Amino acid sequence: MAIFLSISMIEKVVEKLRRGYGKNVPIAIVERATWEDERVILGTLDDIAEKVKEANITKCAQILVGDFIDTEYDKSLLYDKTFTHMFREGVSK
């Protein structure tokens, strides 16, 4: 599930989601997605509201909820200049 324009109400969102998902479902907050200063906060419904407050995230964030979220996430190599793919040869470090 993806929720937009609700990060300022994270506690209410978590309260409603717990009814259907339980407290241990993975959740990610993506602040300023695709921007240079993008931040990703990972947690569960049990701890994400506190993490959002600690990170001082108040706007420009998406809430992603579900088992598709991998807690061992690494950023995509697609835009890494050193990564070679079928459209571009990577440059040496």
pTM: 0.74
One-character DSSP codes across 1-63 = -EEES-GGGHHHHHHHHHHHH-S--EEEEEESTTSTT-EEEEEETTTHHHHHHHHT--SSEEE
CATH code at position 68: 3.30.950.10
Over residues 29-34, mean pLDDT: 94
Containing domain of residue 59, as a range? Answer: 1-93
How high is the pLDDT of residue 92? Answer: 85
User: For the purposes of burial, counting CB atoms within 10 Å of the CB of 63, is it exposed (0-12), middle (13-18) or buried (19 or more)?
Assistant: buried
Look at residue 71 in the predicted model and tell me its pLDDT.
61
The whole-number average pLDDT for the span 40-48 is: 95
Q: State pLDDT tens for residues 3-24.
A: 999 999 999 999 999 999 988 9
Number of domains comprising the chain = 1
Task: Output the pLDDT for position 72.
Answer: 65
pLDDT digits (tens, 9 = 90+) for 63-80: 999 988 876 666 677 778
